[in-house]
C-alpha cells in the first residue's frame, strides 16, 4: 500500500480551551481533527480554570502546518494553561486528503 509521510500533532488541554483550539487549528491549516476526552495528571496536577476531563485533539498535517501549530500553541497557551503538545511522524493512506 502506498502511504504519504505526514505529521500528527497531539494537543492535550484543559476543556475550557476546546473551542478555541479547534478554531485555531483550522485557521493554521488543519483540514480536520479527532477530539476525545480523557483524564490524567501532570506536573500541575489540577486545571487552572475548570474542572473536568481534558481534551485530546489530534490532527494529521504536513510538516509546515505542524510547525505553525506547535509554535502557536507554545506561545499562546503554555505559560497560563495546563497544555501539552507533541508531534509524531505518521504514514497515511490517501495522503492528498490531508495536504
**Residue range 31-72, pLDDT digits in tens:** 999 999 987 766 665 544 456 689 999 999 999 999 999 999
Higher-confidence position of 46 and 27: 27
Q: Collapse the DSSP code of 71 into the 3-class scheme (helix H, G, I; strand E, B; otherwise coil) and give the result.
A: helix
pTM above 0.75, yes or no: yes
**Per-residue pLDDT at 44:** 61
Ramachandran angles phi, psi of 21, nearest 5°: -65, -45
Which residues are 11's β-sheet partners?
57, 85
For 6, 12, 25, 33, 92, the CA distances from 3, given in Å and listed in that order, are: 9, 27, 24, 19, 5
Residues 6+ apart with CB under 8 A from 68: 28, 29
Amino acid at each position: 500500500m502506498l502511504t504519504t509521510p505526514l505529521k500528527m500533532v497531539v494537543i492535550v488541554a484543559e476543556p475550557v480551551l476546546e473551542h478555541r483550539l479547534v478554531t485555531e487549528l483550522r485557521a493554521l491549516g488543519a483540514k480536520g481533527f479527532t477530539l476525545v476526552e480523557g483524564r490524567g495528571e501532570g506536573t500541575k496536577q489540577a486545571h487552572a480554570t475548570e474542572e473536568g476531563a481534558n481534551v485530546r485533539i489530534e490532527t494529521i498535517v504536513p510538516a509546515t502546518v505542524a510547525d505553525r501549530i506547535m509554535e502557536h500553541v507554545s506561545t499562546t497557551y503554555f505559560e497560563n494553561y495546563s497544555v501539552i503538545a507533541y508531534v509524531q511522524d505518521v504514514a497515511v493512506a490517501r495522503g492528498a486528503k490531508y495536504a
